[in-house]
Amino acid sequence: MLYTKEENKEVQCYLCRRMCRIKDGEKGFCHVRENRGGKLYSLAYGKAVAVNVDPIEKKPFYHFMPGADCFSFSTVGCNYRCLNCQNWEISQAYPGIIGEDWSPERINEYCSVKNIPGIAYTYTEPTVFMEYALDTAKLAHKQDKFNVFVTNGYMSDAAISEMKGRIDASRIDLKGFTDKVYKDVCGGVELEGVLASIKGLHKIGHIEIINLIIPGYNDSEDDIRAVCEWTADLDKNVPLHFIGFYPSHKMMDVPRTKLETLLKAREIAMDEGVKFAYSGNLEDEKSESTYCPKCGEVVIRRRGFRVLENKVEGYNKCPCGEELYLVNDIGEYWEKNGKKKD
């Protein structure tokens, strides 16, 4: 999907914002989309290289179906080349298209048998296996299961249009607020494209944003404040998670993020008007829990990836009556927003 045929059997892919022009017999930047005689093929369709059942808080989603488990899977491939990638063996190393056969039908049957309420497209970058994801999501909705995207946010506007009505929520990486961070760490990515995708995803469903804070790269107060200002300007209700970096892949010499840095970032976010700001990766119950912006009471208490207490009433209300930017009932979410398709 999402390509055009050009001269000399070349194709123009417009699935993500790299907009690869691919010659006959070659693959796109993601390594999982190949031009064969002027037709673009998804090589990784149905080949799940990582499969787990995770709590949704691990993604992290804190305001979408709190406490729910989700079937989580990915294929190989990615449209980034992050120096700090935690899953680089499957996102950037290419011994070929590897993975176990998990058809959309098999995934949904497994979820039904195991009583798993939702599916997460995650681990690598789900944009590069969009056809596989959307076919799975369509079947999931027919069986009243929710769908969430865990994404770097570099898909095209056309891809976002295809996601509408299929993907219920997206958790997007905002890795920093300068082109330098994106180009140096992520491999030639343009910040403006990520911001455009976040805006687009916000229009079609629930979103949450994470900011991985890397010491020496994007941890200055100015960098953090820029992320917070932009998020608050988009929507003060959108949850903003500050995640701690730890050495991985080609950034083994960079130190871990200190909890104090994450807590300071959370303070800056709230100072800029973000109503729901969190720390992550370094366990701290206070900064992982959800508070009502009106009465100040704890509404959802968390530690690590565990929900210890959920006081949300009905779809999204604090006991004090304040409506929260939160989905606690997927059926009512579909009813309110018309997201579910046949």
Cis peptide before 60 (omega within 30 of 0): yes
State the pLDDT confidence band at 339, using cuts at 50, 70 and 90: low
pLDDT of 337 reads 81
State the pLDDT confidence band at 94, using cuts at 50, 70 and 90: low
pLDDT, mean over the chain: 96
Whether the CB-CB separation of 166 and 137 falls below 8 Å is answered with yes
pTM of the model: 0.97
The DSSP string of 69-111 is EEEEEE-S--S---TT-TTHHHHT--SSS--EE--HHHHHHHH
Tokens of 33: 């989309």
State the pLDDT confidence band at 280, using cuts at 50, 70 and 90: confident
The pLDDT tens digits for 181-228 are: 999 999 999 999 999 999 999 999 999 999 999 999 999 999 999 999
Indicate if the pLDDT at residue 273 is higher than 70.
Answer: yes
Burial of 82: CB neighbours in 10 Å, binned 0-12, 13-18, 19+: buried
Statement: 47-288 belongs to CATH 3.20.20.70: yes
pLDDT of 19 reads 98
The pLDDT tens digits for 101-142 are: 999 999 999 999 999 999 999 999 999 999 999 999 999 999
- For the chain, give every domain's residue range: 3-42, 47-288
State the pLDDT confidence band at 342, using cuts at 50, 70 and 90: very low
pLDDT of 231 reads 98
